[in-house]
Amino acid sequence: MSSEGDTTLKSICYKPGSLQLLDQRKLPLETTYLEIRDTADGWKAIQEMVVRGAPAIAIAAALSLAVEVFNFNGFDGSSTDAVAFLDNKLDYLVSSRPTAVNLADAAVKLKQVIKNALATTAIEPKSIFKAYIEAAENMLEDDVASNKAIGNFGSSLLRQQAQNPDKLSVLTHCNTGSLATAGYGTALGVIRALHTQGVLERAYCTETRPFNQGSRLTAFELVHEKIPATLIADSAAAALMKDGRVDGVIVGADRVASNGDTANKIGTYSLALCAKHHGIPFYVAAPLTSVDLSLSSGKEIVIEERTAKELLNTHGGLGERIAAPGISVWNPAFDVTPAELIAGIITEKGIITKNDNDAFDISSFAKKMT
């Protein structure tokens, strides 16, 4: 379905047996929802960035499989076959975008749910499928609660660290709001919380080239929420900081290594360097599902490289060509910000701060909180 001018911020519309994803490639000028009938539709929507944002990707993937199995007319196989079927589908979905850890983390947790169902109660395939569907639906509900907790912890931290806790201006990058999650947002959720508390003077958002998630999506959300906001070119961030207009920088994360190195949208590393130079605190806001304790550092994070068309053409590759014919392109979707540039990591369980050695001990924090 499609409608012009509809400013709904619900990126995932789900009910049992039905999933619709807001096509974020067409925002803010057109609001179009795409029907997702199975994992093939889900994989394509994720890979083509109909849906984006690490938490939203994970939930959309999980629900695409939930819809597929909900609408089965019948399954020709045993309970063990059902588990194998779901495992294979989850592996397929994980391959859609490799950098965001939330998707892989969700797959691991869902595989454990169906494995437990097989070992305990399931005698027939439909019991396995029911257990899977319930677990996927719970992920949708849990994400909103998690985001609101991040918003509260983050707003408290920024106010504590600010020279004037009752008047803050914050810079953010990419889109980490309702459109990137099941609702509310991570880094943008912190900005939303500051605004609700009446202490946000201004939110600044970068364009976030080449896909323009900042100008198309974050700006869209900020205007919709009537939050005082200003859009800047990616290359204007340093000048903005030099002018003293920024009290803090807050971004999301697609994957956080155990030492705190953080992969996020390309351009994040540049912002962290600028913030360090200007003495401005730089924070990462992300759920613990974005933490990958299997990685010792950011050097091990796989960085997705995207199509050259995103740079060669307007509108993130969807419009007319503007680059010179014959030019080669390097288009990494993410970069890695070293932990040394990060002042704190805001999670739904609290703030991960550095120890006496000026290092993050995320493993101990995660174990303590879970």
- 31-36, strands of its sheet edge to edge: 2-3, 31-36, 18-22, 12-15
User: Among 143, 234, 254, 261, which one carries the catalytic annotation?
Assistant: 254
**HSE-CB for 1 with a 13 A CA cutoff:** 5
254 is catalytic: yes
Task: Give me the residues paired with residue 205 across strands.
Answer: 172, 231
Single-letter residue type at 313: N
Q: What residues act catalytically?
A: 254
